[in-house]
Amino acid sequence: MARKHATIDEETEINVTPMLDVVFIMLIFFIVTTSFVRETGIDVRRPDAQTATSQDRGNILIAISDAGEIWMHKKKIELVDVRGMVESAVKETPESSAIIVADTASQSGVLIDLMDQVRLGGVARISIAARAK
Amino acid sequence: MRRRSRHEADQAEINITPMLDIVFIMLIFFIVTTSFVKEVAIDVSRPSNQPQKTERLSEVIAIHILDTGEIMLQQRIIDIRAVRASIETALAAKPNANIVVIANRKADAGLLVRVIDQARIAGADKVSLAAEAI
């Protein structure tokens, strides 16, 4: 009697191997596609541009609000701090490129100063975020 | 005899349940942290302040953005809608010219992006950005 019971148990066991395969493939997919982009922390109105292209490698995001404040990593920072933060980001991922998310109403002087600071921090590829029309 | 050997095989099987737990937790972590948001942006080049080579003015098409929001190309104030056609004309005359957008510091960044965008539509592959000297 006891033995018969054991055979039934063995037969009803679910084969988890295919599920494991799927789970592993999903895991690898998500590990590969994850890029830890750190958001800027503010919502800005992006300018419209027709020639805007999708940026694959933009992992340094810096935002300028309409009042001219600079936001990075969900903190409001000063212009003089930008260089150091960009330098530490480059140290983590050497192939970084920067995207400046400037509000439509922000002053271009701030934008140009910011681009200079990012360049001094060691990032040559800088783009300005836009909204594709 | 047969029964005993099967019993041994049962014991030798590796318990994969803890590994499965870890794999699932990792999977959920990566699903939650993944963001598929890609920034859409335009590329601009900002010439460094150190003088590398002095470019002759004849090789440059300069577009000025004034603090009032007016756009000036070749000493003429033009409308934003006329920028593209004007740059196309200027590029036809000087095909190898670089395009430099010289913005006043008080001008809107949105206007600046629109001018760069228009220049790129006009066929300029490399648009540089400069600030007006104070």
Interface test with B, best of A53, A108, A117 (most B CBs within 10 A): A108
Residue A7 is predicted with a pLDDT of 54
For the segment B120-129, what is each residue's pLDDT rounded down to a tens digit?
A: 888 877 788 8
- Calculate how close chain A gets to B126, using CA atoms only, in Å: 12
The pTM for the full model equals: 0.72
Residue with more model confidence, B46 or B106: B106
- Pick from A88, A90, A65: which is nearest to A75 by CA? A65
| Cβ-Cβ contacts under 8 Å, B130 against chain A | 112
Three-class SS of residue A99?
A: strand
Asked if residue A13 belongs to a domain, the reply is no
Decide if B94 contacts B57 (C-beta within 8 A).
no
Average pLDDT, integer, range B99-124? 87
For residue A85, the enclosing domain spans 48-132
**Which DSSP symbol is given to A75?**
E
What is the rounded average pLDDT of the residues B55-63? Answer: 72
Mean pLDDT estimate for chain B: 79
Same domain? For B127 and B62 the reply is: yes
Q: Can you state the angle between helices A17-33 and B17-33, rounded to 10 degrees?
A: 30
CB contact under 8 A, A52 and B121: no
- Here the contacts of A31-38 (C-beta below 8 Å, separation 24 or greater) are A31/B30, A33/B34, A33/B36, A34/B30, A34/B33, A34/B34, A35/A59, A36/B33, A37/A61, A37/B35, A37/B37, A38/A72, A38/A73, A38/A74
Asked if residue B4 has pLDDT above 80, the reply is no
The reply to whether A21 falls in a domain is: no
- Residues β-bridged to residue A54: B40
Same-domain pairing of B64 and B125: yes
Q: Please, how many CA atoms are within 13 Å of residue A34, restricted to the half-sphere of its CB?
A: 16
pLDDT score, position A1: 47
- Residue B125 sits in a domain whose CATH number is 3.30.420.270
Contact, B129 vs A115, CB < 8 A? yes
Q: Please indicate, yes or no, if residue A7 is contained in any of the structural domains.
A: no
In a domain, A80, yes or no: yes
Whether residue B50 is contained in a domain is answered as no
Give the confidence band of B43 by pLDDT, cuts at 50, 70, 90: confident
Residues B28 and B62 in one domain: no
Q: Does B80 touch chain A (CB under 8 A)?
A: no
Residue among B24, B31, B105 minimizing CB distance to A30: B31
Based on the number of CB atoms within 10 Å of its own CB, is A131 exposed (0-12), middle (13-18) or buried (19 or more)? middle
DSSP letter, residue A6: H
Tell me the average pLDDT across B7-23: 76
Task: Write the CATH number for A88.
Answer: 3.30.420.270
Inter-chain contact B108–A105, Cβ cutoff 8 Å? Answer: yes
**Residue B117: burial class (beta carbons within 10 Å; 0-12, 13-18, 19+):** buried
Residue B41 pLDDT: 79
- pLDDT of residue B57 exceeding 60, the answer is no
Cα separation of B61 and B7, whole Å?
A: 85
What is the average pLDDT value for chain A, to the nearest integer? 82
Residue A112 phi/psi, 5° resolution?
Answer: -70, -40
Contact B96, B59 (CB under 8 A): yes
User: Chain A residue with minimal CA distance to B117?
Assistant: A49
The shortest CB-CB distance from A55 to any of B39, B109, B120 is to B39
Question: How many independent structural domains does chain B possess?
Answer: 2
Domain assignment present for residue B40? The answer is no
Subunit contact B40:A132, Cβ cutoff 8 A = yes
* Whole-number pLDDT of residue B1: 46
Question: Would B103 be classed as within a structural domain?
Answer: yes
With CB atoms and an 8 Å threshold, state whether B129 touches A115: yes
What does the DSSP 8-state code read for residue B69? Answer: S
C-alpha B7/C-alpha B21 separation (Å) is 26
Residue type at position A125: R
Contact B44 A126 (CB under 8 A): yes
| ipTM beyond cut 0.90 | no
Q: Does A16 touch chain B (CB under 8 A)?
A: yes
Reply yes or no on whether the pLDDT at A70 is more than 60: yes
The residue ranking higher by pLDDT, A65 or B13, is A65
Q: What pLDDT is recorded for position B122?
A: 87
Tell me, yes or no, whether B38 lies in a domain: no
For residues B62 and B127, state if they share a domain: yes
**Which residue's structure tokens are 């004309």?**
B89
Domain that holds residue B23: 2-33
Compute the nearest-CA separation of A53 from chain B (Å): 5
Average pLDDT of the segment spanning B100-114: 87
